Amino acid sequence: MSQEKGTLIFGSDHAGFEYKEFLKELSHTWGYKIIDCGTHSLESVDYPDYIPPVVKEVLLGATGVLICGSGIGMSIAANRFKGIRAALCSDGLGARLAREHNDANILVLGERLIGKEEAVSCLENFLEATFQGGRHARRVEKLEEFLSSCA
């Protein structure tokens, strides 16, 4: 049995359900603890309903994965929460850089826009990368200041 690598928290709407299920199972084989915040079927649902439970777990230290048809709505909504840096990614390099340069804590994917292999590449790169800090930390701090000044 592999050693647990951490916790991944998944959320999707109906348009991201199939990739969510696939990526959950794959992540489990990689040694991650999985929490699934839904949805649990292909029945049409409203994507904003699945974001707050994922955000809550991410703010407690989990790594988040949100999936909808395009990923756009999920990323817009998730980034409204203080402390959340959700990155909509369409390739592995973008996913790695989101983590290394922006300290992204939620990976967002659009099931209707990328193939399954690219979704796997995004998740692998996102999970393997770590925040580089340095000049990037200063920039991330400025983003947090934006949220504070707009509240």
- Are the C-beta atoms of 11 and 58 separated by less than 8 Å? no
Assign 3 a pLDDT band (cuts: 50, 70, 90). Answer: low
101 in active site = yes
Each residue's pLDDT tens digit, 10-46: 999 999 999 999 999 999 999 999 999 999 999 999 9
Predicted confidence at residue 143, as pLDDT, reads 76
Assess if residue 1 is contained within a domain.
no
Which domain covers residue 109, as residue numbers?
6-150
Amino acid at 60: L
Residues 89, 118: Cα–Cα separation, whole Å: 10
Q: With 50 as the cut, is the pLDDT of residue 142 above it?
A: yes
Which one, of 73, 19, 21, lies nearest residue 50 by Cα? 73
Predicted confidence at residue 1, as pLDDT, reads 39
Each residue's pLDDT tens digit, 73-130: 999 999 999 999 999 999 999 999 999 999 999 999 999 999 999 999 999 999 999 9
Gyration radius of the chain's alpha carbons: 15
- Are the C-beta atoms of 92 and 128 separated by less than 8 Å? no
Predicted confidence at residue 135, as pLDDT, reads 76
Residues 14, 130: Cα–Cα separation, whole Å: 30
The one catalytic residue in 14, 28, 40, 101 is 101
What is the domain count for the chain? 1
Assign 151 a pLDDT band (cuts: 50, 70, 90). Answer: low
**CATH number reported for the structural domain that contains residue 38 in this entry:** 3.40.1400.10
Strand 63-68 relative to strand 6-12, pairing: parallel
52-90 in b/e form (b: 16+ CB < 10 A) is: ebbbebbeeebbbbbbbbbbebbbebbbebeebbbbbbb
